[in-house]
Amino acid sequence: MKVLLVCCAALALLLGTGPGAVGQGKAPPPEAKALWAHITQGSPYTSWGSWPDYQGAQRARSPHGPMNRVFVNQAGLDSAKPPVAHGTIEVKAVENAQGKLKGLVVMYKFKGYNPKAGDWFWVRYSPEGQVMAEGKPTGCIRCHSVLADNDYIMVHYFR
Ligand code: HEC
């Protein structure tokens, strides 16, 4: 019984239900290293859900391909219409045709970070977490702007 209690307490800590929680785990600052720790350890993206209209491996239309999977945290999935809730994180795992991970591109909606462009913090990582681009890269923002009225989200259309 004692073991069970300790176990539950540890789990509750891990899930981080306190203020600033983003679904599971604490909200990281808009900074690539902290965000990497969050999406790989604090709240591993592989345990998140997906948009109902973009599940599993999909053929990419973007420069990041040829295949990709998009994982969305609970704050995003709970958002019924754009703009999505602050705290939303979307991780796109870019894969080759054999399903091998080629890198991650991430959008993290952080209150006050970049109000001119949806408050998104953008990062591109190597499969090992090396930071290739971070912040407000013009390239990411320009291309995603075609769907600014859909909160810059390309793979899920809010109705
Ligand atoms: C030339 C256009 C283009 C550029 C540049 C681009 N993207 Fe995308 N992005 C897309 C498209 C199209 C999708 C839809 C999925 C797909 O086909 O790959 C997408 C999907 C995504 C997603 C999944 C969430 C969603 O629905 O939007 C993330 C996260 C993302 N991109 C991040 C980035 C980041 C970070 C950068 C810059 C390093 C970037 N993108 C640059 C076109 C682009």
pLDDT in tens, 72-93: 999 999 999 999 999 999 999 9
Residue 62 vs residues 106, 117, 143: alpha-carbon distances, Å: 14, 20, 9
Alpha-carbon Rg of the chain, whole angstroms?
Answer: 16
Q: How many CA atoms lie within 13 A of 137 on its CB side?
A: 15
| Centroid of ligand 1 to alpha carbon of 67 (angstroms) | 12
- Give the model confidence (pLDDT) of 37-76 as tens digits: 999 999 999 999 999 999 999 999 988 889 999 999 999 9
12 Cβ contact partners less than 8 Å away, ≥ 6 residues apart: none
List of domains in the chain: 29-150 (3.50.70.20)
The mean predicted confidence, pLDDT, of the chain is: 89
The residue whose CA is least distant from atom 19 of ligand 1 is 154
Question: Whole-angstrom Cα distance, residue 49 to residue 20?
Answer: 20
Torsion sign over Cα 139, 76, 72, 110:
positive
